[in-house]
Structure 1
Amino acid sequence: MKALIVAPSWIGDTIMAQPLFARLHALHPGLTLDALAPQWVAPVLQRMGDIANVIDNPFGHGALRLAERWQLGRRLAAGGYDAAYVLPNSLKSALIPAFAGIPLRVGFTGEARYGLLNRRHHLDKQALPLMVERFAQLAEAPGAALPRPVSAPQLRSTVVEQQNTLQQLGIERPQRIAAFCPGAEYGPAKRWPAEHFAELARRLAADGFAIWLFGSPKDHSIADQIEHLAPGLCRNLCGATTLAQAIDLLALAELVVCNDSGLMHVAAALNRPLVALYGSSSPGFTPPLTPRAEVLSLHLDCSPCFKRECPQGHLDCLRQLTPEQVHAACRNRLQSSAP
């Protein structure tokens, strides 16, 4: 059997789909599983043993470009795919497998995709509260019970890959690394304040940690603020690494502190000791899927609001989460994760 995954456009969502890939391989021995994915998501798929090939999906958020989707579908028709699993719920995401003439096209009904998918699942949010469960359900027959527990996502980072990344970046490995991921692509309502990260950096540096800051080029400014507020304690790697290199460096960390972000899910899939900070989003939907995570959320009356920016203008759900509380959680997590 040969199948195509139409991957999400978010790094965290793509990582949460990995248990689906593992389940498909278990159900179909000898399966060849390819993925159609945006280039910014491709590196995490390439670190999954389940995916044979990653095909570039050049269509960004909101771009229809119908003729170009048809052309890509016709090129994929030569791939001889038996099935396609469409993970996003948008109508646009289901067009290419239909244009490719793939016989079995699986996904949730989503945006009224009745003619585009021929094995449609109906989403029961109460039965499937977690995103990872919703993706995993696509491996089963519609209406069938989801086998539980769903396995945790896993990403590969070998010692050789880590050493190569350190050499490529000219970085010497410190004895103890605490990784901060201060950004969140979705919006500022998911970002713990820079001054809080800086205070936590001072506390962890006193515990003997070197502090590395990870993120995309968009996160460089908030990392600069943290560096300025905690002078001499942090190394700003935001925008200085590829995603693949960030995966290898995060794999070296003794501790990771993250907002609810794609890099949080990367750290979880690498099974790193992790403290995850939630404000506008909910750990009941997209938690870090590892037993080595400590989730902190104040559960205020106004959260989770799932907004990109705080509708109240105060961001109390994260501002009132103090560095002292997070530092205590870090120490608890380190003690729990000790050999």
Structure 2
Amino acid sequence: MVTTCDIIRMMNRISQYRQANRLLVIMPTWVGDAVMATPTLRALRNLYRTAHITALTRRSNRPLLDACPWIDDILSAWPPQIKIQRDGAQGGVFGVVRRLAAGQFDTAVLLPNGIRSALTTMLAGIPRRVGYDRNGRGFLLTDRLAPRRQLGAFVPVPTLDYYLAIVRYLGAEHIDRTMRLFTRPEDDQRAEDLLVDAGWSRQIPLVVINPGASFGDAKLWPIERFAAVSDRCVDELGAFVAIGGASKERPLLQKVIDRASRPIFDLPGHGVDMKVFKSVVRKASVVICNDTGARHMATALGTPAASVFGPTDPAWTETGVAVDRQVRVDVDCGPCQLRKCPLDHRCMTRINPQMVFDHVGELVGWNDELKHKGQDQDNSVARSVGYS
């Protein structure tokens, strides 16, 4: 006998798997999280092959999605300003709401956990709003996923899988969790010309250093240690070293350059934006960085990375990629997830340059071996070797 509960469950299942025609995906704010969301974009495209998919992203992150084949459009109007703007500017809440309403979306996939994404899509009249029930926003969603908890606390889940769980809920199967970014030919050529003019050639290992981090000072490995590793890359590997980072990190980059005994090519100082930086990273033999967005950019572009971890728990950002190396030490006070260390920063200061350089040397050797086999450093090749 079919009960009322059975009918309700069946109707919910049909609703859960219904087709989307105009799909909005609200992307994460941070660079690394946005990169870790790329498998979700791929899975959504495979699930909704005929849908028009629009990614709503932070303006500064728009270049990350350039040339991405899984989306049809990009809106760079996120996050909206909380304050109400009297002129109705497009950057305000109501300006964003109007733009989304004009898009006539029937489904919104909310990757950020904040209430702002749920409220904005609800006000825009998007009928179906899918996301995690967090931060008191559940009543604004039509489809709510419960995050994993244990004893009242969130259980660390790789961000990559956290996002993919939404697509699995929507009915996706056989999901590829490979992160991937794409570059444009004109940006590849600009990167090539810039590096060659500065003295690099394809026969020389290209090492990219990114010493910044957005989370807070606690995630920063000391600048003198980045400088020391850079010098060893030049002296022992014969490498060409370039340094990159956000515009607000220019003083930090300059300190590393000044501290190093060997030349470091200043990418932002030569007008390299995120589009061209992606192309530089794609050409690199290895990226050396803190636990920051550059790590995930490297992995998504098929380039090995040696990332220095301090206060953050690697379980949140695990990728399963063999050449995504995490350099860390166990300390009694960590991982604390704090932005500023109240103690002596032992999680970072106990990581010496030798520990990082050991990984760098191995990763550069891996990349050289790949090139000697006559294989271009294309994403597909790097992924086939690098993913475990």
Structure with the higher fraction of residues in helix conformation: 2
Against the structure 1 CA distance between its residues 275 and 315, is the aligned structure 2 distance closer, same or farther, given a 3 Å change threshold?
same
Q: Partner residue of 1:225?
A: 255
The one-letter code matched in structure 2 to 1:217 is S
Q: Partner residue of 1:183?
A: 212
User: 1:265 Cα deviation (Å)?
Assistant: 1.0
**1:110-139 deviation per Cα after TM superposition (whole angstroms, max 9, x unaligned):** 122233210010001578711111111111
Contact 1:91 1:111 in 2 (8 A): yes
- The structure number with the bigger radius of gyration is 2
Residue 299 of structure 1 aligns to a residue whose secondary structure is coil
Q: Partner residue of 1:109?
A: 133
Q: Partner residue of 1:53?
A: 73
Contact 2:183 2:275 in 1 (8 A): no
- Provide the identity percentage: 26
Q: CA RMSD in A?
A: 2.3
Against the structure 1 CA distance between its residues 291 and 95, is the aligned structure 2 distance closer, same or farther, given a 3 Å change threshold?
same
Against the structure 1 CA distance between its residues 235 and 227, is the aligned structure 2 distance closer, same or farther, given a 3 Å change threshold?
same
- 1:1-339 matches, cutoff 5 A: 1-59=21-79, 63-65=81-83, 68-125=92-149, 129-141=157-169, 150-158=176-184, 160-167=186-193, 171=198, 173-174=200-201, 175-206=204-235, 207-238=237-268, 240-288=271-319, 290-312=321-343, 314-337=344-367, 338-339=369-370
TM-score (norm 1): 0.91
User: 1:54 Cα deviation (Å)?
Assistant: 1.2
| Alpha-carbon separation, structure 2, partners of 1:197 and 1:75 | 44
Against the structure 1 CA distance between its residues 128 and 187, is the aligned structure 2 distance closer, same or farther, given a 3 Å change threshold?
closer
**1:33-66 deviation per Cα after TM superposition (whole angstroms, max 9, x unaligned):** 1111110111112242212211122546xx4235
Residue 315 of structure 2 aligns to a residue whose secondary structure is coil
Deviates more, 1:233-242 or 1:275-284: 233-242
User: 1:172 Cα deviation (Å)?
Assistant: 5.3
Contact 2:28 2:57 in 1 (8 A): yes
| Alpha-carbon separation, structure 1, partners of 2:330 and 2:174 | 27
Gapped regions of structure 1 (runs ≥ 5)? none
User: 1:82 Cα deviation (Å)?
Assistant: 1.7
| Alpha-carbon separation, structure 2, partners of 1:128 and 1:223 | 32
Residue 40 of structure 1 aligns to a residue whose secondary structure is helix
Against the structure 1 CA distance between its residues 164 and 335, is the aligned structure 2 distance closer, same or farther, given a 3 Å change threshold?
closer
**1:139-197 deviation per Cα after TM superposition (whole angstroms, max 9, x unaligned):** 1328x8x8677512100125543113444786554332101110001111111111111
Against the structure 1 CA distance between its residues 271 and 40, is the aligned structure 2 distance closer, same or farther, given a 3 Å change threshold?
same
Residue 57 of structure 1 aligns to a residue whose secondary structure is strand
Gapped regions of structure 2 (runs ≥ 5)? 1-20, 86-91, 371-388
Count the aligned residue pairs.
334
Against the structure 1 CA distance between its residues 168 and 226, is the aligned structure 2 distance closer, same or farther, given a 3 Å change threshold?
closer
**1:252-311 deviation per Cα after TM superposition (whole angstroms, max 9, x unaligned):** 111111111111111111110211110011211113553322211102111211111112
| Alpha-carbon separation, structure 2, partners of 1:10 and 1:263 | 11
The one-letter code matched in structure 2 to 1:35 is A
User: 1:212 Cα deviation (Å)?
Assistant: 0.4
Against the structure 1 CA distance between its residues 128 and 50, is the aligned structure 2 distance closer, same or farther, given a 3 Å change threshold?
farther
Against the structure 1 CA distance between its residues 316 and 324, is the aligned structure 2 distance closer, same or farther, given a 3 Å change threshold?
same
| Alpha-carbon separation, structure 2, partners of 1:72 and 1:149 | 32
